[in-house]
């Protein structure tokens, strides 16, 4: 009997994950649950359902009908809504962390405090505020130390909630206004020193003990040319044949060490092993590698850089994670540089034109789809 895999998600990242699944030598049958139809995922699926993927009962009903051998949750929102917990409780193994472990992404304060509590290097200077009291003093203190500041909502914002002095905020007054907006929607706000350097993404797979890394990728989040405009989830990304141009081997080793320690700290903190993707956003500074944030899923667009060149069977990797045997599996990748570029509608991200026709010319590029219909 053929293996059956359930994939949850609808984005271009889901599209590339579905490609990695069906490319397996095991020739699994793919089943998909998504909020909206994704053309690439549909073409590869034996069966699919369109449902609210944050609704654990709806996802579980489909899962119990198609009886997958295991499931993969692509986006962070279903994890934050307890979908992985519901699947595991029903006896369906899931390549994704529990809701409790998923706080590493859904709560910026939890992430920072985890590193602080367990003595893990990588944190910038930061403070957490649940009210406006003390915010102005902290902002002023950072400015007087010539460090600048970054304001982060303590919750999921789709990569669009972080605002940086000089890029999005003109000064303390702007920051105070934005903090007020954040606190009206979220329980707290995290204000950190602004780190200077080159950013990179290190997407790792872990069974909670062993950590295996994908090649480092650099993504570019600003909406417009010349690194201008608002932040997005990512407009494009690239990876090199080996290291990125601004990196050395020690930078990757430092980032890997932080991720290993974080996986161990999560086990100590919660008593549960983290099984899935741990994607760290890091920055190379003059003081060494620092952590910007963790995500509990692949990057978008960074997944498009690494999964197409993964030589190790992705389904085998998923099974190793589920069975706690990732130490027996090496991740191997083609020796190739990659570039990913998003084509987005006019007006994106603030006021995108809907329903516009996008024609794909003849290219040698691979295409992955998100928020489109054929």
Q: Is the pLDDT of residue 362 over 90?
A: no
- Which domain range does residue 23 map to? 4-95
Q: Is residue 348 part of a domain?
A: no
d(CA 129, CA 114): 17
Q: Is the pLDDT of residue 363 over 90?
A: no
Residue where a domain stops, chosen among 147, 163, 193 = 193
pLDDT tens digits for 232-272?
Answer: 888 999 999 889 999 999 999 999 999 999 999 999 999 99
d(CA 149, CA 349): 24
Q: Name the token pair of 16.
A: 């590339």
Specify whether 83 is located in the same domain as 165: no
Q: Is the pLDDT of residue 157 over 90?
A: no
d(CA 124, CA 317): 33
Specify whether 292 is located in the same domain as 260: yes
Specify whether 203 is located in the same domain as 188: no
Q: Is residue 62 part of a domain?
A: yes
Q: Is residue 101 part of a domain?
A: no
Helical axes 12-22 vs 314-322, angle rounded to 10°: 100
Q: Name the token pair of 221.
A: 């989040």
Q: Is residue 353 part of a domain?
A: no
Q: Is residue 360 part of a domain?
A: no
Q: Is residue 137 part of a domain?
A: yes
Q: Name the token pair of 330.
A: 């090496």
User: 373: which residues sit within 8 A by CB, 6+ positions away?
Assistant: 37, 39
- Residue 122's pLDDT band, with cuts at 50, 70 and 90, is very high
Ramachandran bin of 284, using left for φ above 0, alpha for ψ from -120 to 50, beta for the remaining angles = beta
pLDDT tens digits for 37-48?
Answer: 999 999 999 999
Residue where a domain stops, chosen among 175, 193, 211 = 193
Specify whether 156 is located in the same domain as 210: no
CATH of the domain at 204: 3.30.470.20
| Residue 231, pLDDT score | 79
Provide DSSP, 190-232.
EEEEPP-SEEEEEEEEESSS-EEEPPPBEEEEEEEGGGEEEEE
Q: Report the number of distinct structural domains present in the chain.
A: 3
Q: Is residue 82 part of a domain?
A: yes
The Cα diameter of the chain in Å comes to 66
| Residue 229, pLDDT score | 81
CATH of the domain at 166: 3.30.1490.20
Specify whether 207 is located in the same domain as 298: yes
Q: Is residue 68 part of a domain?
A: yes
- The answer to whether 198 and 290 are in contact (CB under 8 A) is no
Specify whether 183 is located in the same domain as 77: no
| Residue 42, pLDDT score | 97
- Residue 158's pLDDT band, with cuts at 50, 70 and 90, is confident
Q: Which of 106, 85, 87 has the alpha carbon at shortest distance from 33?
A: 87
Specify whether 222 is located in the same domain as 321: yes
Mean pLDDT of 212-220: 98
| Residue 261, pLDDT score | 99
Specify whether 180 is located in the same domain as 230: no
Percent of the chain with pLDDT strictly greater than 90: 87
pLDDT tens digits for 63-91?
Answer: 999 999 999 999 999 999 999 999 999 99
Mean pLDDT of 312-339: 98
pTM, two decimal places:
0.95
């Amino acid at each position: 009997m053929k293996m059956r895999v359930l994939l949850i998600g609808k984005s271009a990242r889901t599209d590339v994950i579905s490609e990695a699944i069906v490319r397996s030598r095991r020739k699994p049958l793919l089943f998909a649950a998504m909020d909206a139809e994704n053309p690439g995922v549909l073409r590869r699926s034996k069966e699919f359902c369109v449902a609210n993927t944050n609704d654990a009962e709806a996802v579980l009903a489909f899962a119990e009908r198609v009886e997958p051998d295991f499931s993969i949750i692509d986006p962070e929102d279903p994890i934050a809504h307890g979908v992985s917990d519901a699947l595991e409780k029903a006896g369906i193994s899931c390549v994704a962390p529990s809701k409790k472990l998923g706080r590493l992404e859904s709560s910026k304060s939890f992430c920072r405090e985890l590193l602080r509590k367990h003595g893990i290097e990588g944190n910038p200077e930061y403070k957490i505020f649940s009210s406006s009291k003390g915010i102005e003093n902290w902002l002023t203190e950072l400015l007087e130390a010539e460090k600048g500041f970054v304001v982060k909502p303590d919750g999921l914002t789709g990569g669009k909630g972080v605002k940086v002095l000089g890029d999005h905020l003109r000064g303390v007054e702007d920051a105070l206004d934005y903090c007020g907006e954040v606190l009206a929607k979220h329980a707290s706000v995290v204000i950190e020193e602004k780190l200077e350097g080159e950013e990179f993404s290190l997407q790792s797979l872990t069974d909670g003990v062993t950590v295996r890394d994908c090649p480092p990728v650099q993504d570019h989040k600003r909406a417009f040319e010349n690194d201008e405009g608002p932040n997005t989830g990512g407009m494009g990304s690239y990876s090199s044949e080996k290291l990125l141009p601004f990196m050395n081997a020690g930078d990757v080793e430092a980032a890997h060490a932080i991720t290993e320690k974080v996986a161990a700290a999560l086990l100590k903190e919660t008593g549960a092993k983290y099984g899935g993707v741990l994607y760290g956003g890091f920055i190379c500074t003059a003081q060494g590698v620092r952590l910007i944030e963790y995500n509990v899923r692949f990057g978008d667009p960074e997944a498009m850089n690494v999964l197409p060149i993964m030589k190790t069977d992705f389904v085998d990797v998923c099974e190793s994670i589920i069975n706690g045997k990732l130490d027996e599996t090496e991740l191997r990748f083609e020796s190739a540089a990659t570039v990913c570029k998003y084509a987005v509608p006019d007006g994106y991200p603030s006021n995108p034109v809907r329903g516009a026709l996008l024609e794909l010319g003849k290219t040698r590029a691979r295409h992955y789809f998100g928020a489109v219909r054929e």
